[in-house]
Amino acid sequence: MTASPSTLLSSAAPPRPARDSFWTRIAAELAEAIGSGIYPPGQRLPSEHALAEQFGVNRHTIRRSLAALCNQGLVRITQGSGTYVEDFAVDLVLGKRTRHQQGLAQAGLRGSLVVVHEQVLPATAALAKALQVPARSKVLALRVVGNAEGQPLHVSERYFPLPRFERLAAVVRETGSITAGFAAHGVADYTRRESRITAELPDTQVAAELRQPASRPVLLVESLNVDTAGAPIEWARAWFAGDRVKLTIAHDEH
């Protein structure tokens, strides 16, 4: 004899989860859908309203589920636009010659550097030592966002000795390239002397510029570039979105 649907539900169905656990179950189902390719990389998820109707819950529950997925690095939430599946992790090479646009081109992507702030500052003791300039001498400070296909990969603070690179900010704003800025000042080639990598939690400004939660770690890279004569021309501190970037150290670059 075949049991009726109502009999099966009453005898075999698991207890209904507590209301507070709805958001975890929904987050798990959405994560499974992302992992199986139902929502492929880069795709926008259904709206909060649509998801609330789909799962039979209120929008507050959906927001908790999406926030959990965001903290896991599976999605990114863009204010006023929606929630998108994180779409790539770019493999960037840190080698003797590290170039943002060239590195992206090798990964089949397009990108540029966007100057969000510039300032002339007196060199701190640490900057003066790194750039080999007198203490409190003038340096150009740029805050830059590195984008790939419209998505921020890193935020950096970059420092250059003055007056040697007095027009560099204008060139970078026009071209989106530090290399072009150096070329405009007679530096045809330059190399990376050192890179130091650590992991940390971003401050609120870095998190906002990278469009990620402040609870998600970033990779901090401190680096020094020199010209062909060995003179320091740039000291930088860059925060990379840890879930969008894989950094490879190249030891065999000539």
- 242 and 147 within one domain: yes
Alpha-carbon span 234 to 167, nearest angstrom? 14
Question: Residue 223 belongs to a domain with what CATH number?
Answer: 3.40.1410.10
Low-confidence spans in the chain with pLDDT less than 70: 1-20, 35, 73, 87-89, 106-109, 251-254
Decide if 74 is inside a domain: yes
Q: Which domain holds residue 63?
A: 5-85
Concatenate the DSSP letters of all residues of 7-25 into one string.
HHHHHHPPPPPPGGGHHHH
User: For the chain, what is the largest distance between any 2 Cα atoms, rounded to a whole number of angstroms?
Assistant: 93
Report how far apart, in Å, the C-alpha atoms of 32 and of each of 58, 75, 107, 197, 202 are. 21, 13, 27, 33, 28
CATH of the domain at 61: 1.10.10.10
Last residue of a domain, one of 85, 105, 138: 85
The DSSP symbol for 157 reads E
Q: Is 45:69 a contact under the CB 8 Å cutoff?
A: no
- Distance separating alpha carbons of residues 176 and 182, to the nearest angstrom: 12
Write down the pLDDT at residue 2. 42
Q: Which of 68, 85, 102 is the last residue of a domain?
A: 85
Alpha carbon 36 to chain centroid distance? 24
Q: Do residues 196 and 108 share a domain?
A: yes
Q: Residues 109, 232: one domain?
A: yes
Residues 106 and 29 in one domain: no
Q: What is the pLDDT of residue 188?
A: 95
- Evaluate whether residue 194 is within a structural domain: yes
pLDDT at 75: 84
- Domain presence at residue 163: yes
For residue 39, give the DSSP letter. S
The answer to whether the beta carbons of residues 181 and 165 sit under 8 Å apart is: yes
**pLDDT tens-digit series, residues 199-236:** 999 999 999 998 888 888 999 999 999 999 999 999 99
Q: Say yes or no: 73 and 145 in one domain.
A: no
The amino acid occupying position 175 is T
Do the domain assignments include residue 160? yes
What per-residue confidence (pLDDT) applies to 87?
66
Secondary structure E strands in 72-227: 75-78, 82-85, 90-94, 111-122, 138-148, 151-161, 190-200, 218-227
pLDDT attached to residue 182: 97
> Is 208 found in the same domain as 135?
yes
| Closest among 18, 22, 34, 42 to 69, alpha carbons compared | 34
Q: Which of 171, 143, 170 is nearest to 157 (CA)?
A: 143
Per-residue pLDDT, 169? 97
What local confidence, expressed as pLDDT, does residue 108 receive?
64
158 token code pair: 């970059």
Q: Does residue 254 fall inside a structural domain? A: no
What pLDDT sits at residue 146? 92
How many domains does the chain divide into? 2
Residues 116 and 167 grouped into a single domain: yes
The answer on 198 and 101 residing in a single domain is yes
| Cα gap 76→57, rounded to integer Å | 22
Cβ-contact 140, 168 below 8 angstroms = yes
Domain end position, chosen among 56, 85, 114? 85
Residues 96 and 199 in one domain: yes
Q: Is 116 found in the same domain as 77?
A: no
Q: Are residues 72 and 120 in the same domain?
A: no
